[in-house]
């Protein structure tokens, strides 16, 4: 799809962390790579008064710190980019502020040689969620939204997560959004879908024919999806304590990863074909609730420790966290996808903050060969005959992006001894280039009107339905089972134990 010549991107929450660390660097990179049309302009909207010039130098400073690649021509390039930035002060629920914004946008259209009010608009809502509905509502009231049928110009809105904090609030938010925008204009973002290696899950599965015949319950024993983070809540305690790992990571990023791994091949790569298939997966996950939470989930919370020499305080001591908080900073859970392809195959999801290091990996573990014909050794230690090491396919999302297949090979020598060895593909070795940041791809897609990598409301609903059940189950536990783990470890021992025991039981069946 083509990107039309003249678009104004309005970022609500322009002074926030996301805008400075991710959105502006992404827009800068796209400009450097000549992927944005010349007439693209960016307007920051936030509550604090500042001039265009003050905003420009604030963003210039942020880019010096956070730009993905250093400007080739130094400061001149930064200045050229920031000269396309504008600032509008205002309150998110105040129509007058949005009327002023409209005057500014119309003026910018004029500067770009477009009849005022006829340029395209991409509204990016990256504020705290409590003002999402105000913004969409006032955008409508202040007449910022083009008719979706208008062929000469478009208006789109990107909405950051969290999209609600449960099914009810997500639906209420959606109702407000759809009171003003048409679904075709709404882009609900999950930045994991913009990661190169996440898109590669689809490329790997549906652009190659050798693995797909094995991609089912007949050959796959179980699947792990691990998202480990080495950061603690680091100043986000106020938000995080009302969220927790389940809402913050599982409801969105991890269930999306699961959906991509488990979905059927779509009929095409058109937005609704892909999203229909993901929805079918999410809807096929049997709910976990009531007493089941005890058998299918493990919650943890970090206590003081060190990560790479950095001292981490107890979660309970983080600013904004309540003294008796039972919010989980770690969660492990077992899910099934009850359909013809996956019935009986457990998906183990694990994520946590303040863990030993940062990595996101999906491991597909295949069934054992039916007969153990050979002895095998692991790390050069002879284990004798018996169970072979399974084949494991690892999709490494970050860092060291790549794919690894572990297979049993004969150890050289007179004996028939097998040892697991890895066949590996590393992104940076093969392509010799750093993958683009997720936000670069997603902003570009939104500008070209491609919503394939954005979330549809029914996916949001299906994910919340599952999460609400678990949260309810946890709330109703007589004593909340929160396992403490030391920061800098791999999470609570109970989680490893739970998964190891479960896999062992499966083997026994
Ligand atoms: C965000 C969560 O959506 O994703 C954060 O709110 C988390 O808590 C972040 O740290 C992880 O993203 P990434 O791209 O660093 O893996």
Pairing of strands 85-89, 41-46: parallel
Nearest residue by C-alpha to atom 8 in ligand 1: 248
Q: Name the β-bridge partners of 377.
A: 382
Structure tokens at 346: 């457990």
Residue 248 in contact with ligand 1 by CB distance below 6 A: yes
- Cα separation, 355 vs 213, in Å, equals 36
Nearest CA to ligand 1 atom 2: 248
Say if residues 172 and 49 touch (Cβ distance below 8 Å): no
Ligand 1 center–CA 509 separation, angstroms: 38
The pair of structure tokens assigned to 466 is: 């599952």
Q: Indicate the top mutation candidate among 26, 161, 191, 234 to test ligand 1's pocket, ranked by most ligand atoms within 8 A of CB.
A: 191
Q: List active site positions.
A: 253
Cβ proximity of 407 and 389 under 8 Å:
no
Rounded-to-integer distance, Cα 163 and Cα 464, Å: 10
- Going by alpha carbons, the residue nearest to atom 13 of ligand 1 is 192
Per-residue pLDDT of the chain (509 residues; tens, 9 = 90+): 556 678 999 999 998 999 999 999 999 999 999 999 888 999 999 999 999 999 999 999 999 999 988 776 678 888 999 999 999 999 999 999 999 999 999 999 999 999 998 999 999 999 999 999 999 999 999 999 999 999 889 999 999 999 999 999 999 999 999 999 999 999 999 999 999 999 999 999 999 999 999 999 999 999 999 999 999 998 889 999 999 999 999 999 999 999 999 999 999 999 999 999 999 999 999 999 888 898 899 999 999 999 999 999 999 999 999 999 999 999 999 999 999 999 999 999 999 999 999 999 999 999 988 777 776 666 666 665 556 778 999 999 989 889 999 998 888 888 778 888 999 998 888 888 778 899 999 999 999 999 999 999 999 999 999 999 999 999 998 877 899 999 999 999 999 999 999 998 887 54
**Residue 227 CA to ligand 1 centre (angstroms):** 10
Written as one string, the DSSP assignment of 414-483 is SS-EEEEEEEEEEHHHHH-SPPPPHHHHHHHHHHHT--TTSB-HHHHHHHHHHHHHHHHHHHT-SS--EE
Kindly give the number of the ligand 1 atom that is closest to the alpha carbon of 191: 14
pTM of the model: 0.94
> Does ligand 1 come within 6 angstroms of the Cβ of 229?
yes
For residue 397, the CA-to-ligand 1 centroid distance in Å is 13
Ligand 1 centre and the CA of 231: distance in Å?
Answer: 10
The minimum-distance atom of ligand 1 relative to the CA of 360 is 16
Contact (CB, 8 A) for 403 and 425: yes
């Amino acid at each position: 799809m083509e990107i039309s010549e003249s678009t104004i991107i309005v970022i609500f929450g322009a002074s926030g962390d996301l805008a400075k660390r991710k959105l502006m660097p992404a827009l800068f990179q796209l400009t450097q790579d000549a992927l944005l049309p010349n007439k693209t302009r960016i307007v920051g909207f936030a509550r604090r008064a500042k001039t265009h010039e003050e905003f420009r130098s604030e963003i210039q400073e942020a880019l010096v710190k956070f730009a993905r690649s250093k400007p080739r021509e130094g400061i001149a390039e930064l200045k050229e980019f920031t000269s396309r930035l504008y600032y509008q002060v205002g309150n998110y629920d105040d129509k007058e502020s949005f009327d002023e914004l409209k005057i500014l946008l119309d003026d910018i259209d004029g500067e770009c040689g477009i009849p005022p009010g006829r340029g395209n608009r991409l509204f990016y809502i990256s504020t705290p969620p409590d003002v999402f509905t105000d913004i969409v509502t006032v955008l409508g009231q202040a007449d910022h939204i083009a008719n979706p049928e208008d062929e000469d110009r478009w208006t789109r809105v990107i909405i950051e997560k969290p999209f609600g904090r449960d099914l009810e609030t997500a639906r209420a938010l959606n109702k407000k959004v759809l009171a003003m925008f048409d679904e075709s204009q709404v882009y609900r973002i999950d930045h994991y879908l913009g990661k190169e290696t996440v898109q590669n899950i689809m490329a790997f599965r549906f652009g190659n024919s050798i693995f797909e015949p094995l991609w089912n319950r007949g050959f796959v024993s179980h699947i792990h999806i691990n998202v480990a983070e080495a950061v603690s809540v680091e100043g986000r305690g106020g938000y995080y304590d009302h969220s927790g790992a389940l809402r913050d990571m599982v409801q969105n990023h991890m269930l999306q990863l699961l959906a991509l791994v488990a979905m059927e091949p779509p009929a095409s790569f058109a937005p609704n074909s892909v999203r229909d298939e993901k929805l079918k997966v999410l809807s096929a996950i049997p709910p976990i609730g009531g007493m089941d939470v005890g058998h299918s989930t493990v919650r943890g919370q970090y206590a003081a420790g060190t990560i790479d020499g950095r001292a981490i305080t107890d979660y309970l001591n983080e600013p904004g966290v309540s003294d008796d908080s039972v919010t989980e900073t770690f969660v492990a859970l077992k899910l099934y996808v009850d359909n013809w392809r996956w019935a009986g195959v457990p998906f183990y999801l694990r994520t946590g903050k303040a863990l030993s290091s940062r990595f996101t990996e999906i491991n597909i573990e295949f069934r054992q060969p039916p007969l153990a014909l050979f002895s095998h050794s692991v790390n050069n230690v002879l284990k004798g005959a018996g169970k072979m090491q399974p084949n494991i396919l690892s999709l490494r999302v970050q860092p060291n992006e790549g794919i690894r297949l572990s297979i049993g090979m004969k150890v050289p020598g007179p004996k028939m001894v097998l040892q697991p060895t890895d066949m590996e593909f590393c992104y940076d070795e093969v392509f010799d280039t750093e993958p683009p940041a997720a936000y670069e791809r997603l902003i570009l897609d939104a500008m070209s009107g491609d919503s394939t990598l954005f979330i549809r409301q029914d996916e949001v609903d299906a994910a919340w339905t599952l999460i609400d059940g678990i949260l309810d189950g946890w709330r109703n536990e007589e004593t909340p089972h929160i396992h403490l783990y030391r920061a800098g470890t791999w999470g609570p021992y109970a989680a490893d134990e739970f998964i190891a025991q479960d896999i062992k039981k499966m083997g026994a069946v």
